[in-house]
Amino acid sequence: MLRQFAWLLLLAVIWSSSFMAIKVGVTGLPPLTLAAFRVIVAAVILLGFARIERAALPRSARFWTYCLLLGIVGNGLPFTLINWGEQHIDSGLTAILMSIMPLSTVVLAHFFAAGERMTPARTAGVAVGFCGVVVLVGPEALKGLGGDLWRQLAVAGGAFCYGVTVILARNMPPATLMERSAAVMVVASLVMTPLALAVDAPWRLTPDADALAAALYLGVFPTGLATILFFHLVQTAGPGLVAFINYLVPVLGVAWGALVLDERVTASAVAALVVILAGIAIAQLGRRSG
């Protein structure tokens, strides 16, 4: 369990760092082009690793159907929904809306993932984790619910997409870790690149070095490396544990702000991390005993 917690924290650290990189990247690249760039970079890197391992991508139609679904539901659609929603939604409220992901994952896993039944302990863990997010952003953020309904529904929809992604990843046909990671990212690139070309006409853009560096970072770490860790955790720890990522990311985002931007770490952030980790422990212990 401690090893799984360590992998979970590492994945959350990597994903939480993406928010700062995105802020830099969108100053020189439109959101859709930035998203396409990051999946292309990730696809190249993962294909390179797959080639080093001499892995042959599976040819079954079922495997590539799952890759297509994961490329759309796990990358293109949530990236678009969340980026559009965050244009007019405070970060605190966004964190709460993204917390729909663990709840939706636990419910979906109960019906669609073997060995992931929704027990009282797991439900309690999800509830405790949600309370940790509320502690972090403050109860005042809840007052904004319903203020910009369509934007909030977009963010909630993106969170639900991530919940579906965890279940799809768990039920993928057999393949090695690198084969799955590379194949999904290749399909995501094939889906998102034509959209970026049609909508943004990126050949007309003149991004600065900072924006390009941010896009490269997003492709290598929060997309490429994180995809490998994601598939590893889904297969070894199960959807229930991976779902808690969206509780940890807001807290670790505060830590990144303190480390890189010299922002202050508040007592509420520390308390939120303790509450969220307690929720993860409760849910995981319930899974072990169930």
Helices 149-170, 91-98: axis angle to 10 degrees equals: 40
pLDDT given for residue 145 in this prediction: 61
183 Cβ neighbours under 8 A, 6+ residues apart: 57, 58, 63, 64, 67, 175
Which range has the worst mean pLDDT, 16-30, 228-242, 251-265? 251-265
Asked if pLDDT for residue 198 goes beyond 60, the answer is yes
Q: What average pLDDT does the structure give for the chain?
A: 83
Render pLDDT for 257-271 as a digit per residue (tens, 0 to 9): 677 766 666 777 778
pLDDT at 35: 87
Residue in the structure block whose two tokens are 């590893």: 232
The domain spans of the chain are 2-289
| pLDDT surpasses 60 at 91 | no
Distance CA 17, CA 276 (A): 19
- CA 158/CA 73 separation, integer angstroms: 9
How far is 253 from 236, CA to CA, in rounded Å? 26
Give residue for tokens 């953020």: 141
Position 181 scores a pLDDT of 94
Tokens coding 172: 């993928």
This prediction has a pTM of 0.81
146 pLDDT band (50/70/90 cuts)? Answer: low
Number of H helices, E strands in the chain: 15, 0
Does position 288 have pLDDT exceeding 60, yes or no?
A: no
